[in-house]
């Protein structure tokens, strides 16, 4: 984390920067619980998703083979939706992988 305060938090130093801010304004509150459009690239998505399951993360779509890799959809406690993606496709017999 690069900065944190009442405004929220900012992450990732360098050319890519990510800020997360609380939805205080009424216009922002109306957007809570929707798809964020944010995708996180995860190396080794299947073991990662297994750890998320163990921690009680809500999955909207289990890890599924796609033409571009493997993707899963999760929701945070407020219902905001995020995609997880790994461009490496595990072996067909990989446990936890749902065919598309």
Residue ranges in the chain whose pLDDT is less than 50: 100
33-100 has CATH 3.10.180.10 classification: yes
Say what the pLDDT of residue 12 is.
62
- Structural domain boundaries of the chain? 1-31, 33-100
Say what the pLDDT of residue 100 is.
47
Note if the pTM is more than 0.85: no
Task: Produce one character per residue of 38-56: b if its CB has 16 or more CB atoms within 10 Å, e if not.
Answer: eeeebeebbebbeebeeee
């Amino acid at each position: 984390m690069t900065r944190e305060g009442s405004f929220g938090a900012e992450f990732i130093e360098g050319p890519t920067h990510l800020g997360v801010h609380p939805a205080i304004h009424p216009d922002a509150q109306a957007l809570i619980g929707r798809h964020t459009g944010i995708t996180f690239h995860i190396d080794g998505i299947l073991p990662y998703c297994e750890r998320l399951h163990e921690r009680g993360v809500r999955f909207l779509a289990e890890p599924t083979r796609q033409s571009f890799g493997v993707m899963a959809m999760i929701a945070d406690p407020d219902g905001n939706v995020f995609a997880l993606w790994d461009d490496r496709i595990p072996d067909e017999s990989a446990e936890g992988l749902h065919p598309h």
